[in-house]
Structure 1
Amino acid sequence: MAPMGIRLSPLGVAVFCLLGAGVIYHLYAGVISSRLAAFRSDSSATFRQRKSVDLRELLAVSVEAAVLGGKEVKTVREENNLKEKSKGKTREGASEPLTLGDLQSHRKMFNLIKNTFPEITVNSEEHDNVADAATWSRDIPADIQEKIEGGKEVPTESVTVWIDPLDATQEYTENLVKYVTTMVCIAVDGKPVIGVIHQPFTGFTAWGVVGQGSNVHPRPSYSISPPKVIVSRSHSGKVKNFILDAFGNSTTIVEAGGAGYKVLSLLEMPVIEGASPDQADIYVHITFIKKWDICAGAALLKALGGQMTTLKGEDIDYSDTPLNKGGLVATIGVDHKAVLEKLPNWDPEKH
């Protein structure tokens, strides 16, 4: 008997092919699903790793941002391309100018920090939607490596960054460039921890990390009997009487622009290109002031053993709204409490 052959109808072949395709599809889908799960797992692990940030890296990023912003500030000023306009009036009635230097610096500083650490909150004096691809070079300068320990992590949700892309804009428009700074401050749980103050027109950058170190120093001596007090040149009328009431008529009052510059006047500053920085024993401000103006200075002073408080001696919270309504007193090398006790009663909200 001849062997029996197996014949498949066209319909059977089609069914067979469909069944085979289904098996292959499910096998392939299973592989894709498992790889997708692995990818998601890896992504979750990466995300979890970014829940904290190294303070030394934050310092390096802050220095790089301040220097990068400073280059923009200097270029705009040297090209005399300020494109100045007014943002309005301050509470004291002074004009608040805005220049291309402010905006160009903001774009570099803000985007560099956000592009590097997108999870952290960054507050800037300026607001602009122009994106910039600036990212951290991953370079940690030698002096930071030498003085600041790596591996000190803080949760990203506890970090608030305050940047001032151009401090002393009024003086900038008047070409009084010695007062101009760019500043970055890192606050952790509302407390200033890292402060960077860069001088674009000298190239000098002061930085400090609370509890770890700084690249600047206090001066050898200070005095509060009487002191030399530095105040704002833009609204110095009322503060002069306040200072003389507190410390006596023989007190020396220095008028200067820029909160960053005023903090540096309390420190031992290098003389660069023949510039002679002002020196003061105390920095006092008796009206409202924004936190991007003062946070970097507060951190820098604190890193060196100094203090910056409200006129009533209260700590300033750098995790919330931008406005500090309590005025400020900044000291280093003197008894901060003794200074506060000399101050007359004053409510900045009523003046």
Structure 2
Amino acid sequence: MAPMGIRLSPLGVAVFCLLGLGVIYHLYAGVISSRLAAFRPKRKVDLRDLLALSVEAAVQGGKEVKKVHEENTLEERSKGKTKEGVVELLTQGDLRSHKKMYYLIKNTFPEITVNSEEHDNSVDEAAVWSREIYADIEQKIEEGNEVPAESITVWIDPLDATQEYTENLLQYVTTMVCVAVEGKPVLGVIHKPFTGYTAWAFVGQGSNVRPRSSYSVSPPKVIVSRSHAGKVKNFIQDAFGNNTTIIPAGGAGYKVLSLLEPPPNEPESTDQADIYIHVTYIKKWDICAGAALLATLGGQMTTLQGKDIDYSGTEANKEGLVASVSVDHKALVERLPSWEP
């Protein structure tokens, strides 16, 4: 009896070929796609547009913060504790501001990385930038400062000084946006929702804020966190003497603004400091905008050891900070006592 052979119908042959092509496609599609991507033009972003958008985001977020307070719908709750054991509060002001700020930026430039202090699973597709360039930005900043989208990291703080917000200490409250390029702060916006004041800066290009006419470091007035005023007191007195004035205040944005010339509409009691010092763990969305403002004005914000802070990657700076403008920052750092995180 002759051995039996296997015979495939034309339909079977076709199916077999299609399956084979499918396997080959899945094996090589990823490789081909990645190689083609190398030839596609990379999206660039004009930093003047991003500055105008950042100002708009901070202002719109601030409106949400103010509205929640006026409606008395804070609904405050704890979202955990800091590494130092301080309770971190969350309110509807934080969440509504986050949603407005985050999606205004993300809907306009979906390619860029945006890091926010808060998180919300809902999407605000209606948050669309009008593409309006504020008059002072248009006058001071030239267009054409383009950078690759993948080099940009945006840090937003939807409500800085939440604790003070719940305590009705509204002078400390700000909304902030910072744009870092290759880890260096380039654009900074600090907005005060309850006065309507907005400070902005573009490193190497210009700003609507300026330093005060004089500063003192013998001894200085040092502004510090209300939450950690006791911990930092001895550190500051070791550096500058027992007669040093220490100003406890809320909000990192507020503290940076205290180093600058106050706006005309600010009350006379506004704190004015010569140096800002922080000795504990702090998130980058708290300090990036302030770093950009100071850098634009020739000032500096560094770790307590005088090192630059990288505003890409992880969200935290663990090495403390010292911020100044119009003083010898290096000499300032050398006066600080040794400190370990």
Q: Which runs of 5+ in 1 are unaligned?
A: 1-43
Match of 1:330 among 278, 301, 323: 323
TM-score normalised by length of structure 1: 0.85
Match of 1:168 among 161, 168, 174: 161
Counterpart CA distance in 1 for 2:199 and 2:289 is 10
Q: 1:59 to 1:84 in 2, by over 3 A?
A: same
Q: 1:81 to 1:281 in 2, by over 3 A?
A: same
Q: For each residue in 1:259-296, what CA deviation from the matched residue of structure 2 results, as whole angstroms up to 9, or x when unmatched? A: 00000000001142646321000000000000000000
Q: 1:246 to 1:273 in 2, by over 3 A?
A: closer
Which secondary structure state, in structure 1, belongs to the residue aligned with residue 157 of structure 2? strand
Is structure 2 residue 110 aligned with structure 1 residue 103? no
Q: Which amino acid aligns with 1:105?
A: S
1:143 shift after superposition: 0.2
1:129 shift after superposition: 1.1
Comparing 276-285 and 111-120, the one that deviates more: 276-285
1:234 shift after superposition: 1.0
Q: For each residue in 1:174-223, what CA deviation from the matched residue of structure 2 results, as whole angstroms up to 9, or x when unmatched? A: 01000000000000000000000000000000000000000000000001
Match of 2:115 in 1: 123
Match of 1:60 among 34, 52, 55: 52
Match of 2:144 in 1: 151
Q: Please list, as runs of the form range in 1=range in 2, the aligned pairs for 1:191-210 lying within 5 A after superposition.
A: 191-210=184-203
Instruction: Say whether the 8 Å CA contact 1:283–1:329 is kept in structure 2.
Output: yes
Is structure 2 residue 80 aligned with structure 1 residue 73? no
Match of 2:179 in 1: 186
Q: 1:78 to 1:49 in 2, by over 3 A?
A: farther
Instruction: Say whether the 8 Å CA contact 1:192–1:299 is kept in structure 2.
Output: yes
Q: How many residues align?
A: 304
Instruction: Say whether the 8 Å CA contact 1:193–1:299 is kept in structure 2.
Output: yes
Match of 1:259 in 2: 252
Counterpart CA distance in 2 for 1:275 and 1:185 is 28
Q: For each residue in 1:240-270, what CA deviation from the matched residue of structure 2 results, as whole angstroms up to 9, or x when unmatched? A: 1100111001100000000000000000011
Q: 1:312 to 1:216 in 2, by over 3 A?
A: same
Q: Which amino acid aligns with 2:174?
A: T
Counterpart CA distance in 1 for 2:154 and 2:107 is 13
Match of 1:308 among 293, 298, 301: 301
Match of 2:74 in 1: 82
Counterpart CA distance in 1 for 2:271 and 2:338 is 28
Larger radius of gyration: 1
Is structure 2 residue 287 aligned with structure 1 residue 294? yes
Q: Which amino acid aligns with 2:74?
A: L
Q: Which amino acid aligns with 2:252?
A: A
* Percent of pairs with identical residues: 75
Q: Which amino acid aligns with 2:93?
A: G
Counterpart CA distance in 2 for 1:148 and 1:302 is 16
Counterpart CA distance in 2 for 1:88 and 1:152 is 41
Instruction: Say whether the 8 Å CA contact 1:92–1:235 is kept in structure 2.
Output: no
Which secondary structure state, in structure 2, belongs to the residue aligned with residue 292 of structure 1? helix
TM-score normalised by length of structure 2: 0.87
Q: Which amino acid aligns with 2:289?
A: A
Match of 1:20 in 2: none
Q: Which amino acid aligns with 1:82?
A: L
Which secondary structure state, in structure 2, belongs to the residue aligned with residue 93 of structure 1? coil
Counterpart CA distance in 2 for 1:292 and 1:280 is 22
Counterpart CA distance in 2 for 1:307 and 1:80 is 38
Which secondary structure state, in structure 2, belongs to the residue aligned with residue 296 of structure 1? helix
1:49 shift after superposition: 6.4
